[in-house]
Amino acid sequence: MPATPDPRSVVHQILADYRQMAARHHAALKEHCDVEGVMDGEFDAYEETRRVAALEADEKLDTFIQLLTDAFGLPDDRPVTVLGADGVEFQVTPGRLDETARTAFTEGQCHALARAVAETTGWDTVVLADRECADEYDSCGMGDAVADGLCICQLSHLAAVRPHDGHLIDADGARDPQDVRAEERFDIVPMSPALWKLIDTHPTWRDADMPVARSLVGPLLDSLGSPSTGAKAVEVAA
């Protein structure tokens, strides 16, 4: 297991990296300015330099936040914003599996929780796939977003599979796969690398909020009375 990073060292490295980047950006922009700091070069070239600098700053910010999260963890005494489906924002307190967390991680972040459970337990993951393609341009891949014979619009919900009974595990608890099949709407399909790649890259799915999802795995397993590790799941594909 990797050693926990020293928080002080992480902060110092972030400060050093940021200062180095800021100095480069400042020098690059100065090339377009006169001695008084007023832009006197080609406006398009100046704006392009600013655009490139902004893109790098955005990428660096994402990296810095990830480093800080790894070093300090998320706060457990206040909510953080979790992005759900259709741009809906949920205020979820890390480590607290309350009604808001259950809603957020069934309405937009089910893939994050399924993956987090699988990381912790070694259990398999599955997708509930609609048997019919939506065939709509705003949600359907129209043949271009397909993996393992499934269109992106058919991928409805992800869950982990508890090995000793095959129940589907998500933020709402445990569900018997036979109940899902009885609805005759979904097929239960094992997740594959190709399906994960489709979900991770297609714009209709939110970026997986793994830090918050991981904080909820313990409370979820405790609520189920499930062990934290287990053998690979039983076969559940229809």
- Residue-wise pLDDT tens digits, 201-234: 998 899 999 999 999 999 999 999 855 544 443 3
Q: How many Cβ atoms from other residues are within 10 Å of residue 37's Cβ?
A: 9
Is residue 235 one of the residues assigned to a domain?
no
Q: pLDDT digit string (tens) for 119-141?
A: 999 999 999 999 988 777 667 77
Is residue 35 one of the residues assigned to a domain?
yes
Q: Are residues 62 and 87 both part of a single domain? A: no
Is residue 234 one of the residues assigned to a domain?
no
Cα distance between residue 216 and residue 83, in whole Å: 16
Q: Are residues 115 and 150 both part of a single domain? A: yes
Is residue 238 one of the residues assigned to a domain?
no
Q: Are residues 212 and 104 both part of a single domain? A: yes
Instruction: Write down the mean pLDDT value for the chain.
Output: 90
pLDDT of residue 228: 52
**Boundary residue ending a domain (53, 72, 91):** 72
Q: Are residues 53 and 105 both part of a single domain? A: no
Q: How far is CA 132 from the centre of its chain?
A: 26
Q: How many Cβ atoms from other residues are within 10 Å of residue 163's Cβ?
A: 18
In this structure, are residues 157 and 177 in contact, taking their beta carbons and an 8 Å threshold?
Answer: no
Q: Which residue has the tokens 């001695």?
A: 35
Q: Are residues 85 and 166 both part of a single domain? A: yes
Q: How far is CA 36 from the centre of its chain?
A: 46
89-96: list long-range contacts, CB under 8 Å, 24+ apart: 92/212, 94/211, 94/212, 94/215, 94/216, 95/215, 95/216, 95/218, 95/219, 96/216, 96/219
Pairing of strands 125-130, 155-161: antiparallel
Is residue 150 one of the residues assigned to a domain?
yes
Least confident among 39-43, 63-67, 175-179, 180-184: 39-43
Q: pLDDT digit string (tens) for 40-95?
A: 778 889 999 999 999 999 999 999 999 999 899 999 999 999 999 988 999 999 99
Q: Tell me how many domains the chain contains.
A: 2
Q: The domain containing residue 31 runs over which residues?
A: 7-72
Q: Please give the span between the terminal C-alpha atoms of the chain, in angstroms, as a whole number.
A: 37
